[in-house]
Chain A
């Protein structure tokens, strides 16, 4: 995982409503400026180019002709299929665990211990300071030195071996997403009202707070899912066959076309996830919670 999750900040101007916004005076005043055109051209060549190339490459079939053969083979490749299911399973469970773990914590810190906010920010930055390869090395050590019941409990299945640690990797994203969501609502009033009407803490969180920050929660879950589908370093070092690991395997065994075809589908899927998220975040002005910029 990368370093820059710090960049996820509150969206404060995601207005998609009908009211006309006073349009700020553009620097270009309608005239396309050369420096803007130049960078857009460069970016298009550099970023779209490889994608187009990859797509063309993925259309080259094993017999040399062009067609969708590689895409057809994906469905028949059982190793990739089972790896994809494993990864999806890990992704969904990680996303749920993250929210169950983090939402009450975030709410509690905001309500009862705002002084701990700094501590929380620091702790949730830790996964960024520790490179995934180092975390993987630590897990490897743990595998060697831990008592047998721990090894049996955790490391015998990719789901139990990876999901708990992907939750850790997801902390920087999810803490910021949920915290921004909770900040945007009037938490004190909502909780006081709910509690004074006799709701338990669990009911307050699931039936009052959760619906109010659903965009933030969805955002946190989407980001976590994307993270789990892409994480390769830990899975590969611990020798679990998750989806990205299998992608690499497929290319090593001489079927690079399939790997490239799958890569394109993964990129498209993740892009669709985040693109949908940008609309969700813009849809409700007041609860506008997160965006990935």
Chain B
């Protein structure tokens, strides 16, 4: 226990302290809220937060809908079967580990020279005629969905498995139609889990940077890219402190999301345990 505590304090606590300390001080080391004020007043940072939130909201909603759907289809298959193994391993790869490789698969598909882009051009559809590019908010979002759906599958499968067949039989025995079973039993029981998992998806997209970094570098205006720029770019005087303030703001957003998750999770445990 002691080695663990010391380790976490040194290698997690210290960087975290540096972020918080730097965000709340001036270069001379005095306490200030000026860094936060500056980030709130900067139009570029405001846009970054807006973009990050938009990106996270739509990719987590799309991820949630298709993730639940896919998970439900997989749960209906035989436990321990091949389909389940493949889907669960593939979900793990795509959700947790595939940021950069996935971005390149995406470039190869929908990039300016991508296979699908070229195919579509051959039949007369020019994807790039409008404002779409792989490095736009929409292009990056499509790549995000690629890991959001598998993450939803991972998060929601245990809850779906906890949906007992007896409840269905009881409902049907009492004369419920399929729709009535869904409306009065399955959806109310599942709702907290689904909401909780969607919140996690939101946080996941909000803090993710690997895919965007590989697709567009730091030019897409989202919060992690702004932090990257502020720390490494040296575009502005005092920029790295602004980057640290942005970091604290990001943590604050995710803490709020996690509290929401914790609240709905308590509710979810009532039925599914």
Contacts and interface: CB of A to CB of B under 8 A. Distances in A.
B65 to A, nearest CB: 10
**Interface of A (DSSP majority class):** helix
Interface stretch (A3-11, A198-206, A207-215): A3-11
A46 to B, nearest CB: 8
A130 B1 contact: no
B151 A4 contact: yes
A229 B243 contact: no
**Interface of B (DSSP majority class):** helix
Given A39-B73, A133-B227, A271-B90, A2 B157 contact: no
Nearest to B151: A4
B96 A134 contact: no
Contact of A275 (B11, B12, B86, B197): B86
Contacts of B158: 7, 9, 293
A16 B115 CA distance: 41
Interface residues of A, number: 102
A262 B209 CA distance: 20
30 contacts: A1-B96, A4-B201, A6-B200, A21-B79, A23-B78, A27-B76, A35-B73, A39-B69, A39-B73, A50-B105, A54-B104, A101-B4, A126-B8, A129-B251, A131-B254, A132-B209, A134-B251, A137-B19, A138-B15, A140-B232, A226-B97, A230-B100, A232-B210, A237-B231, A263-B104, A263-B105, A264-B101, A274-B93, A275-B89, A292-B96
Interface of A: 1-7, 9, 13-16, 21, 23-28, 35-36, 39-40, 42-43, 46-47, 49-51, 53-54, 56-58, 101-102, 104-105, 108-109, 113, 116, 123, 125-142, 145, 164-165, 167-168, 171, 223, 226-227, 229-233, 236-237, 239, 244, 247-248, 251, 256, 259-260, 262-264, 266-267, 270-271, 274-275, 277-279, 282, 291-293
Interface of B: 1, 3-4, 7-8, 11-12, 14-19, 22, 66, 69-70, 73, 76, 78-80, 84-86, 88-102, 104-110, 113-116, 146-147, 149, 151, 153-155, 157-158, 165, 197, 200-201, 203-204, 206-210, 213-214, 224, 227-228, 231-232, 240, 243-244, 247-248, 250-251, 254-255, 258
The 9 residue pairs across chains A and B that have the minimum distance between CB atoms: A138-B15, A131-B207, A263-B101, A57-B108, A292-B92, A3-B204, A134-B247, A53-B115, A141-B18
